[in-house]
Amino acid sequence: MSETAGGTGTAARAPAEGGGGLIQPLSAGALAALVGFASTFALLLQGFVSVGATPAQAASGLLAVCLVKGVLAIGLSWRTRLPISIAWSTPGAALLVATGAFAGGFPVAVGAFLAASALVILAGVIRPFGRAVERIPMPLAAAMLAGILLDLCLAPARATLAEPALALPIVIVWALALRFARPYAVPLAVLVTIGVVLAATPLPDASWGALAPRPVLVAPTFSLDALVGLALPLFLVTMASQNVPGLAVLAANGYRPPVGPIFVGTGVASAVASVFGGHLVNLAAITAALCAGPEAHPDPSRRWVAAAAAGAVYIALGLSAGAAAAFISASPPILIQAVAGLALLTSFAGAIQAALADEKARMAALVCFVTTASGVAFFGIGAPFWGLLAGGSMWLLRR
């Protein structure tokens, strides 16, 4: 472990293998942003509507979270020289759908968003919490990462079975490039995917009608019911299901970023987004693996460019949310997942190797892996948290 250029965290360093230049991290970052946007933007919009947002307010919320997480990813990655990827809270969006509207409508929900943002900031200021997160054992962090990635790494095989005419060209180009031009295997697969999508699912002309949603200010209203029923659960599921796995993904790839400043930064960014209808932003998990893994760049010290590139693409997606949503909606989801799965295979292999390397920790790591991969969820908290809890319990029991 060595000090980064920014001097605010640690990262594993390795000699560059076979170049890669800027094309590799830039394409990895673009893919991470497309995967992150495509996978859950519809859920996010539905979540805003469920808690009382108008269509204009929901579009403003989508714009706000895209912009703040893009700016934050660029700023944190450049400052620390670590691949710190930022995402919106997907479990938080699911919570919004399940919770529904409060008396007082969307302004009450915005008040809860602000309160949850303040709790995230407090988590960054309270040092014992950050120290506890940083002490997650490496085999468990790697096992949780492998469990998170497993389902997506199966997507290329599923896509080939479901849509062979569309998926096979992507897989074949990736395999050939992996053999003859490894640094460009994922970029070429992304280009082929875009071409296949455009050829197979042309966009209707009407989809380009609204390229730039307008920001809409929403004055927050505070309600005890919303603070207890939405703000606190939103904070808990975001920390347990997004921030903790996100830190584990970084740790599994050799990075130990400063926890406090990240939580404070995401809390402040979330507060800014909330007044325009957005909810919490946080560390990314799956898309973080795209930016922090070997396919982003052979040299770990240069992978921060991928996270910054993802931030730039998120800003572009936010500014053209109408067209971006139309393109992603028209794309067969299995193809987007397939190219992401191909990009993550190297990260998955490395995570499995790191999880099982220590024989004494192997059983605890396996428990963490299978629990995470199972997809179980309790109390609105996703499988990565329970996998870490189960694996940690085995870790303590065996030691």
**H or E stretch covering 371:** helix 362-374
DSSP 201: S
Q: How far apart are CA 189 and CA 376, in angstroms?
A: 32
CA distance 245 to 143: 11
Rounded distance between C-alpha atoms, residue 244 and residue 47, angstroms: 23
For residue 375, the model assigns a pLDDT of 79
State residue 290's pLDDT score: 84
CA torsion through residues 349, 355, 358, 359, sign: negative
Pairing assessment for the beta strands 255-256 and 10-11 based on DSSP bridges: antiparallel
| Both tokens assigned to 391 | 């694996």
Compute the distance between CA of residue 234 and CA of residue 99 in angstroms, rounded to an integer. 10
For the chain, 399 residues long, the average pLDDT of each consecutive 10-residue run is 38 44 86 80 79 85 93 94 90 78 90 93 81 74 79 86 87 87 75 79 54 80 86 80 83 85 93 94 86 86 92 89 62 74 78 85 92 79 79 86
* pLDDT confidence of residue 211: 54
H or E element at residue 86: strand 86-88
How far is 208 from 161, CA to CA, in rounded Å?
32
DSSP letter string, 211-269: -SPPP--------HHHIIIIIHHHHHHHIIIIIHHHHHHHHHTTEE--HHHHHHHHHHH
**Per-residue pLDDT at 92:** 81
| Contact present, 322 and 35 (Cβ < 8 Å) | no
**pLDDT value of residue 23:** 84
* Spatial strand order in the sheet of 2-3: 2-3, 10-11, 255-256
The DSSP letter of residue 276 is T
Amino acid at 80: T
Cα distances (angstroms) measured from residue 181 to each of 18, 226, 355: 9, 54, 29
Side chain identity at 340, as an amino acid letter?
A
Give the CA distances from residue 120 to residues 2, 238, 341, 380, in Å, rounded to whole numbers and listed in that order: 28, 9, 31, 18
DSSP string, 100-158: -PPTT-HHHHHHHHHHHHHHHHHHHH-HHHHHHHHT--HHHHHHHHHHHHHHHHTHHHH
3-state SS class at 294 = coil
Residue at token pair 């402040």: 268
Q: State the number of CA atoms in the 13 A half-sphere of 205 facing the CB.
A: 0
* Residue at 7: amino acid letter: G
Pairwise CA distance, residues 197 & 193, whole Å? 6
pTM for this predicted structure: 0.70
- What's residue 19's pLDDT? 46
